[in-house]
Amino acid sequence: MTLVDLVLQVSHHLDGAGVSHAFGGALALGYIAEPRGTIDVDVNVFSPMTDIDAVLQVFEAIDLRPELARAAWLPLAGIRLRRDADPFPVDVFPSRRALRRSRAPM
């Protein structure tokens, strides 16, 4: 599987599960500046850490699992997921606060 195939697979599964997300890191940089090489996929999920188990179930469906035990996670640095067959890790960044669905009138 190529890096592009992995990005498409991750996006497809997150979309299918209704998980709002955006790709960051070098993937996002390539849209606004000179692209640089990368070997990982950074995914911002717009779900708070309290919902991370549900988000990780989406990744488990495509055999991506946390590299470290939960006690060792540093969510601000990303939760690294790996699949045995792929050389590309996926770093998941949960929201630091709940997503606001609407704004009060000003």
Q: What is the mean pLDDT of residues 51-64?
A: 96
For the 3-95 domain, the top CATH level (class) is alpha beta
Looking at residue 58, its pLDDT comes to 97
DSSP state of 23: E
Helices (H) and strands (E) counted in the chain, each on its own, are: 3, 5
Full-model pTM: 0.82
CA 94, CA 20: separation in Å to the nearest integer? 11
Do residues 80 and 68 lie in contact, with contact meaning Cβ atoms separated by under 8 Å? yes
> Nearest to residue 94, comparing CAs of 27, 14, 28?
14
Residue ranges covered by each domain of the chain:
3-95
pLDDT digits (tens, 9 = 90+) for 22-57: 988 766 655 666 666 678 899 999 998 999 999 999
Looking at residue 106, its pLDDT comes to 44
Give yes or no for residue 80 having a pLDDT over 60. Answer: yes
CA 4, CA 41: separation in Å to the nearest integer? 9
Looking at residue 44, its pLDDT comes to 93
